[in-house]
Structure 1
Amino acid sequence: MIYAANVADGDLAEGNEMVERLKETADKEGAAVVLVSAQVEAELVELEADDRNDFLESLGVTLEGCGLRKLVSEAYDILNLQTYFTSGPTETRAWTIGTGWKAPQAAGVIHTDFEKGFIRAETMSYQDLVDCGDEQTAKSKGLLRSEGKDYVVQEGDVILFRFNV
């Protein structure tokens, strides 16, 4: 279970007395507590990317460590879910799968034919792709791997599925 506590922006970093009581209850239940400020979330939408980080820093928090992103992250953890990506010339997409899924199962989320005719998964990490700037550079650096049917998909993998039906 996850408790989402809507707090004032000044309480986002440290919480308050009510949050402390909620954390005590959550600890007894083995639940998580995530602090969210609806006001801060509304303001973040209006800001440019660079300004978002500065704004959150002024509140003593990070984008990943609070609010809706943290809530989604906690939910994924509790539900044993993870994300992998596919990318082509016109679209990049995130896919949600169970933790521990093998490549053919992950391919089946896109289309059952991908799973049935699975040959291999050409895989690299999201961070490697970002660091390299493009797939070709990642490939030239040896960061693109060819994985078989037993490959367990990792959080943030970028995958091109090879299949034949």
Structure 2
Amino acid sequence: MTRKKMIYAANVADTDLATGNELSQKLKVFCDAQGEDTNMVLVSAQVEAELVELDNDEKLEFLESLGITSLDDCGLRALVREAYNILSLQTYYTSGPTETRAWTIGKGWKAPQAAGVIHNDFEKGFIRAETMSYDDLVATGSEAECKAKGLLRSEGKEYEVQEGDVILFRFNV
């Protein structure tokens, strides 16, 4: 018999978000005993409701007062990240003059497969993927700067798309 991968979300009080409470700690012990396919994430619905009302600086300050050092370390973001992890998913981005979009693909997908998520013609007529990392793009501030610094790569059909890649697909159909 096969086991399904599981994520338990433990809703705790705001004061328990950093370390959990007695019940969430028992749930963590249970999850750990189940193996790597069972994980737990702490979430505070109360904190999530309050975060919606705050700007990013206020969010960080609020979370730090609760013992959380990063927006990615708690709540819904942690739950989504864990879901992606347990399902072996990752995100890549496309960006144009009017829109930037995130695309979800499986880990280990090759560039043509990733292009096919946008449109099957992109996969059929794949030529290459002009690729840079999200972190490089943010650090340099533009695609042109990435290119000038040699951070824009031309990848072929065997390129395995990485988490956070920003890609411009070249194709011909």
Give the 3-state SS of the residue equivalent to 1:152 in structure 2: coil
1:154 aligned partner: 162
Residue correspondences, number: 165
Given the alignment, which residue of 40, 43, 50 partners 1:43? 50
**1:103-151, Cα deviation, whole Å (9 max, x unpaired):** 0000000000000000000000000000011100111010000000000
For the residues of structure 2 that align with 1:107 and 1:146, how far apart are their CA atoms?
A: 14
For the residues of structure 2 that align with 1:156 and 1:149, how far apart are their CA atoms?
A: 18
- Superposition pairs of residues 129-144 of structure 1, within 5 angstroms: 129-144=137-152
Give the 3-state SS of the residue equivalent to 1:105 in structure 2: helix
- Following TM superposition, by how much is the alpha carbon of 1:16 offset from its aligned partner in structure 2, in angstroms? 0.8
Kindly indicate whether residue 32 of structure 2 is the aligned counterpart of residue 27 of structure 1. yes
**1:77-104, Cα deviation, whole Å (9 max, x unpaired):** 1000000000000000000000000000
- Superposition pairs of residues 1-165 of structure 1, within 5 angstroms: 1-30=6-35, 31-61=38-68, 62-165=70-173
Segments of 5+ residues of structure 1 without an aligned counterpart are none
1:20 corresponds to which letter in structure 2? Answer: Q
Give the 3-state SS of the residue equivalent to 2:135 in structure 1: helix
For the residues of structure 2 that align with 1:19 and 1:141, how far apart are their CA atoms?
A: 48
TM-score w.r.t. length of structure 2? 0.94
For the residues of structure 1 that align with 2:43 and 2:153, how far apart are their CA atoms?
A: 39
1:112 corresponds to which letter in structure 2? Answer: N
Segments of 5+ residues of structure 2 without an aligned counterpart are 1-5
TM-score w.r.t. length of structure 1? 0.99
For the residues of structure 2 that align with 1:121 and 1:26, how far apart are their CA atoms?
A: 40
- Following TM superposition, by how much is the alpha carbon of 1:20 offset from its aligned partner in structure 2, in angstroms? 1.1
- The runs of 4+ residues in structure 1 deviating greater than 2 Å are none
For the residues of structure 1 that align with 2:135 and 2:63, how far apart are their CA atoms?
A: 23
Q: For the aligned residues, what is the CA RMSD?
A: 0.5
**Greater mean deviation of Cα atoms: 90-99 or 21-30:** 21-30
